[in-house]
Amino acid sequence: MDDWRPGPSRDQDLPPSARWYGTPVAPPRRLPRWLTHVLLGALALLTAGMVVTLVVVAVLSRPDAPVETEQVDDGLAGISFPLPRGWQRGVLAPVTGFTSVAANRDLATAMARPGDPVDPSALRPALVDLTDLYARLLLHGDKLDVVEDKAVTIGGRAGHTRALRAEYTDVVNQPAFLRVTLLTAPSGGSVVVLGLAHPDDPRSRADIDSIMAGVR
């Protein structure tokens, strides 16, 4: 009968430390350092792109804020009128009798005041007299040209408007623009609205015209 002896076990082939702590496991392979930097950079760019996208979406989806238009309320003249961008309400009108004033720095001015009772059929003659008066007070032009003279209806009020352009022979003063509008008032009186621009330029004219057209 053969003498059977147990052969050496698998554990006996391992070093003593392996018997206690188990078979050594190969360490995981690390990515090259350059590849790690590339992946981290790509992740950072992706994150930044997502943040920018979320901000843009939030801004575009936000409801627009209402645009408030500043206006002048003249209780004595019984009217109100809007102010274009860049214009500000004034406290004291530079011409006696006017009860409200607004200006765009020193480029243009608008004023309003209550007027005398006037028959609708006599609006133009009364306005011509007013325009001549304010042209002498404010323009002092060496040459005056009438650039507009017409009947208007503004805010349900019948009226007439007249505009002048003043030129000067000296080399200092630039041309100036004056518009005066006379409107009937529900009380039987009238309202005078004046706009003055110095120097005369298209934007100042447009601002004055928008003020006149916005009278209510």
What are the tens digits of pLDDT across the range 167-209? Answer: 999 988 999 999 999 999 988 899 999 999 999 999 999 999 9
Task: Determine contact, residues 208/126, Cβ cutoff 8 Å.
Answer: no
Q: Are residues 112 and 192 in the same domain?
A: yes
CA distance 137 to 117: 23
Q: Are residues 101 and 202 in the same domain?
A: yes
CA distance 178 to 149: 12
Residue-wise DSSP of 49-86:
HHHHHHHHHHHHHSPPPPPPPPEEEETTTTEEEE--TT
Domains contained in the chain, number = 2
Q: Is residue 56 part of a domain?
A: yes
Query: Is pLDDT larger for residue 49 or for residue 32?
Result: 32
Q: Is residue 1 part of a domain?
A: no
For residue 153, give the CATH number of its domain. Answer: 3.40.1000.10
Note the pLDDT of residue 141. 93
The average confidence (pLDDT) of the chain is: 81
Q: Are residues 34 and 132 in the same domain?
A: no
Count how many residues are written for the chain.
216
Q: Are residues 47 and 99 in the same domain?
A: no
CA distance 77 to 131: 18
Q: Is residue 194 part of a domain?
A: yes
Q: Are residues 83 and 116 in the same domain?
A: yes
Q: Are residues 18 and 99 in the same domain?
A: no
Tokens of 10: 């698998």
Q: Is residue 2 part of a domain?
A: no
Q: Over the stretch 130-144, which tens digit does the pLDDT of each residue have?
A: 999 999 999 999 999
Q: Are residues 122 and 178 in the same domain?
A: yes
Structural domain span for residue 26: 11-61
CA distances for 140 relative to 31, 33, 143, 164, 192, angstroms = 87, 83, 9, 12, 20
pTM of the entire predicted model: 0.69
Q: Over the stretch 80-110, which tens digit does the pLDDT of each residue have?
A: 999 999 999 999 999 999 999 999 999 999 9
| Residue 201 one-letter amino acid | D
Note the pLDDT of residue 27. 52
Q: Are residues 32 and 96 in the same domain?
A: no
Number of other residues whose CB lies within 10 A of the CB of residue 108: 25
DSSP 8-class letter at 105: T
Q: Are residues 108 and 203 in the same domain?
A: yes
Final residue belonging to a domain, choices 40, 61, 82: 61
Q: Is residue 25 part of a domain?
A: yes
Q: Is residue 4 part of a domain?
A: no
Q: What is the mean pLDDT of residues 110-135?
A: 96
Note the pLDDT of residue 188. 87
User: Does the structure show a pLDDT above 70 at 45?
Assistant: no
